[in-house]
Each structure stands twice: as structure tokens, then as C-alpha cells.
């Protein structure tokens, strides 16, 4: 009952703000660079002003996955919408441009600005290919206290590809990948979630009559897994067989999709980001 009450409150807050934000999101809706029209917004000397910056990791892809567009999957609507909701539903100060829009950023692995981002978000990572230098830089970032959340990759092939790449960053003998237990603090930083929701892209959801598993029987079960340091601090979070960020990106696209997935998606997102900023 407590969980239901909390989730109902999230739904009410989001529903109330969606109407006011509808016109704003209409300007941004559409998705990713290459597939859509938004070029990457790289950081400048003025980007880090003490407020929260949503930092999206740019990486190299060596192949394509159905429904994805590499690093730019869900860009930039998810970045804008999540930043706005984080500012509305918590006391986090959001970095903003002169226009008032959230100051979200795209971060190349080779950019020293990487180390200005306490949290990195990456999507469609089943297509990622890290060079030796990428692996070295990302390991330094994570061991210095950085936090990486990867989302929206589906099925065993994408999982195996991601594991092979992150294992070059954090060798599994020293940094094993483990399921996140039900009692872990990350599941209740602000809103409690005991089960990881399976959220599909809105396009898949519409095309297949409300189904949620984008690789059908190969991705039937969503997984919440992580990599921790020797002190138990999570360094990497992996939400596999689900697209949490589409619940943010498409919050204003269809009321049915919003009420089915966005409250859950924001609950997970807020918990993960709050953990990353406080641990």
C-alpha cells in the first residue's frame, strides 16, 4: 500500500506538470542525432556552473541494433525531460542555459570534461566498442568516484557485447557484475521499486499491441545489475531488457504510454541518479 501511494503521488505530480509542459515538449520531441535533427551539445568552459548537468556518454558503435541509434538513442528529449523532472520532484538545482532550458551535455570519452560529470548516462550500449584508450579513461573516471548508468539494450547478444567491453574497463576478476538485491539502497532512495519495470520504446509498444519485450522471448525478463568497488559503492548500473529513458523521452507523446510507464520510469531514474550523486 505504501508503494502504491508513493507511485500514485508520482503519477499525480507528473500528470499535473505534463499539461503545462506540453507546448515545451512539442518543440523537442523526436529523439536522436543522425536519426533525427539534434546535433550533440558538447560542454564549454561555462557549462559547469554548480548545477546538475545531465551528461550523456558518446561512444563508438561497431554495429546496429534494431530500434537503436547508438549513443544518441533517446537524445535529446530524455535528457531535457529528466533534468526538468529532477528539478521539480527533488531540491536539486538544475544547470540551465540563458533560454531557461536544462543545460544537458554530450561527453566524449576523450574529453577532459568527462571528469566534471559525477554521473554518465549511456543508451544502446550493446553496440558499444571501447578502444584501449577509452577503457583506460573510463576506468580512471569510475575509480575516481564516477558513476555510469547504461540502459536500453536488449537480448543476449547485446548483453554479451556490453559485457565484453565493460570487462576491458573493469576486469571481472576484480569488479564482478552482480544482480542488485531487493534490499539495496538504490531501490528506495526516493521511491521504492522492488521490481524493475520492463519499458519498451513507444514505437515497439504501438507496433506490437502493447507488448513490452523488444526481443520477444529473448528479452522476456528485465535485469538490474551492477558493478561495485571494494567498499561496496556501485560504480556501474545496468538496466537490461528495458528502456527506462523512453519513459522520459516520450512522456508527452501519448497519454496511454505516459500513464503505463512514465511514473515507473521516473521513479527508477530518480533513485538511480540520487544514489549516484550521494555515494
* Beta strand pairing call for 177-179 and 119-123: unpaired
**pLDDT at residue 56 above 70?**
yes
* 65-80 per-position pLDDT tens digit: 988 899 999 999 999 9
For the chain, how many helices (H) and strands (E)? 7, 7
Q: CATH code at 242?
A: 3.40.50.12140
Question: What is the tens place of the pLDDT at every residue in 180-235?
Answer: 999 999 999 999 999 999 999 999 999 999 999 999 999 999 999 999 999 999 99
For residue 103, the model assigns a pLDDT of 96
Q: Is the dihedral of CA 99, 100, 104, 105 positive or negative?
A: positive
Average pLDDT over every residue of 158-187: 97
Confidence of residue 111 (pLDDT cuts 50, 70, 90): very high
Residue 264: which residues within 8 A CB-CB, separation 6 or more?
Answer: 7, 193, 197, 199, 247
Q: What is the largest CA-CA distance in the chain?
A: 50
Residue 273 backbone dihedrals phi, psi, to 5 degrees? -65, -40
Query: The pTM is what?
Result: 0.88
For residues 79 and 269, the answer to whether their CB atoms sit within 8 Å is: no
What grid cell was written down for 9?
A: 503521488
pLDDT at residue number 38: 80
Q: Report CA torsion sign: 271, 73, 213, 226.
A: negative
pLDDT of 24 reads 39
- Number of domains forming the structure of the chain: 1
Three-state SS at 65: coil
Residue found under cell 556518454: 57
In three-state secondary structure terms, 49 is: coil
Task: Give Cβ neighbours of residue 208 (< 8 Å, ≥ 6 apart).
Answer: none
Q: What CA–CA distance (Å, rounded) separates 211 from 202? A: 10
- Cα(87)–Cα(100) distance, rounded to whole angstroms? 12
Residue 81's domain comprises 2-278
Mention every residue, 6+ apart, whose C-beta is less than 8 A from residue 31: 38, 69, 72, 73, 74, 75, 77, 249
pLDDT one-digit tens code per residue, 236-246: 999 999 999 99
Amino acid at each position: 500500500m505504501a508503494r502504491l501511494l508513493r507511485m500514485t503521488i508520482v503519477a499525480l505530480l507528473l500528470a499535473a506538470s505534463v499539461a503545462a509542459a506540453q507546448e515545451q515538449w512539442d518543440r523537442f520531441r523526436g529523439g536522436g542525432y543522425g536519426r533525427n535533427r539534434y546535433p550533440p551539445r558538447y560542454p564549454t568552459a561555462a557549462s559547469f556552473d554548480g548545477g546538475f548537468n545531465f551528461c550523456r556518454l558518446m561512444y563508438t558503435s561497431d554495429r546496429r541494433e534494431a530500434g537503436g541509434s547508438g549513443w544518441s538513442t533517446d537524445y535529446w528529449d530524455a535528457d531535457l525531460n529528466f533534468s526538468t523532472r529532477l528539478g521539480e520532484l527533488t531540491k536539486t538545482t538544475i544547470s540551465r542555459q540563458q533560454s531557461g532550458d536544462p543545460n544537458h551535455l554530450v561527453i566524449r570519452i576523450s574529453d577532459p570534461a568527462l571528469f566534471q560529470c559525477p554521473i554518465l548516462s549511456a543508451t544502446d550500449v550493446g553496440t558499444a566498442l571501447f578502444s584501449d584508450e577509452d577503457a583506460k579513461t573510463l576506468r580512471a573516471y569510475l575509480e575516481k568516484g564516477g558513476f555510469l548508468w547504461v540502459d536500453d539494450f536488449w537480448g543476449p547478444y547485446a548483453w554479451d557485447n556490453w559485457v565484453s567491453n565493460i570487462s576491458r574497463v573493469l576486469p571481472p576478476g576484480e569488479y564482478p557484475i552482480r544482480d542488485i538485491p531487493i534490499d539495496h539502497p538504490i531501490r528506495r532512495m526516493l521511491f521504492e521499486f522492488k521490481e524493475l519495470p520492463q519499458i519498451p520504446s513507444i514505437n515497439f509498444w504501438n507496433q506490437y499491441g502493447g507488448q513490452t519485450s523488444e526481443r520477444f522471448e529473448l528479452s522476456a525478463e528485465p535485469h538490474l545489475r551492477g558493478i561495485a568497488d571494494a567498499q561496496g559503492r556501485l560504480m556501474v548500473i545496468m538496466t537490461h531488457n528495458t528502456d527506462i529513458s523512453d519513459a522520459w523521452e516520450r512522456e508527452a507523446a501519448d497519454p496511454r504510454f505516459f500513464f503505463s510507464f512514465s511514473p515507473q520510469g521516473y521513479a527508477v531514474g530518480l533513485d538511480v541518479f540520487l544514489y549516484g550523486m550521494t555515494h
